[in-house]
Amino acid sequence: MLATQLRPLKTAERGQCVSWFFDIGPQRYEERNIIVRYCDIKMLSFSRLFASRGLVAAGVRSCQKHTLPDLPYDYNALEPVICAEIMQLHHSKHHQTYVNNLNVAEEKLAEAHAKGDVSTVISLAPALKFNGGGHINHTIFWQNLSPDGGEPSGELLAAINRDFGSLDAMKSQLSAATIAVQGSGWGWLGYNKQKGALQIATCPNQDPLQASTGLVPLFGIDVWEHAYYLQYKNVRPDYVNAIWKVANWKDISARFAAAK
């Protein structure tokens, strides 16, 4: 079972910049590139922003910048459900912006800690949450999609039937909740470790699911307009209902197995 909390691999003194590097086990999704840097062990409370799923500390690295993960498929691979133009803009522009802004926020955080500037540290929390969440959410999102994602089976399908009655019922409930998100945000199928059950949730803006709700993210649907507007215009339901055709059930199943 993967760890559910971030753990430093050495003691951090005040003013010393220490990185936590996280590996997520045998599946090795793109989240493995997420590096969280803080300069004081007391700042671990901020690290929950990056606990989007079970992460295991694997080593300590010198401070590095976050990078945009490569897609596991071509930009046109998800057509006709999601067109190549949307995928290219969404990945290379929008996700890249979250990565860039997260790096800037972390640099400012390190500087503020070095100066003992608590006011600035506190003021950076929204930028860390928004851009860190954007990086986490999109890194999961790309892996959640595939031109040949298959169908759920085994323990995941059994859990879906147990908790929702059927696969179609789960899809209907998650789609309805996601379509109803006001403004921008995400719809999620998550795993509640305390209850040992699957659960549907929504998050506004780029709030990361696990840091916000405690649920481990399994499958996310991005309903920011940049994810669909060029193709679906203002008809969000058509986009949400269509995305099931490219859901990567192999990835979702692996996340479920790792979360238990």
To 10 degrees, what angle do helices 249-259 and 125-144 make? 120
Q: In what order do the strands lie in the sheet with 185-192?
A: 197-204, 185-192, 216-222
The pLDDT of residue 149 is: 85
Q: State mean pLDDT over 238-248.
A: 98
Instruction: List, for residues 97-111, the tens digit of each pLDDT value.
Output: 999 999 999 999 999
Rg (CA), the chain: 18
The pLDDT of residue 151 is: 95
Q: State mean pLDDT over 71-79.
A: 98
Rounded mean pLDDT of the chain?
A: 83
pTM value is: 0.77
Higher pLDDT, 30 or 240: 240
Q: State mean pLDDT over 126-146.
A: 98
Instruction: List, for residues 14-58, the tens digit of each pLDDT value.
Output: 333 433 333 333 333 333 333 333 333 333 334 444 443 333 333
- In this structure, of 14-28, 115-129, 201-215, 243-257, the range with the lowest mean pLDDT score is 14-28
The pLDDT of residue 25 is: 34
Instruction: List, for residues 167-203, the tens digit of each pLDDT value.
Output: 999 999 999 999 999 999 999 999 999 999 999 999 9
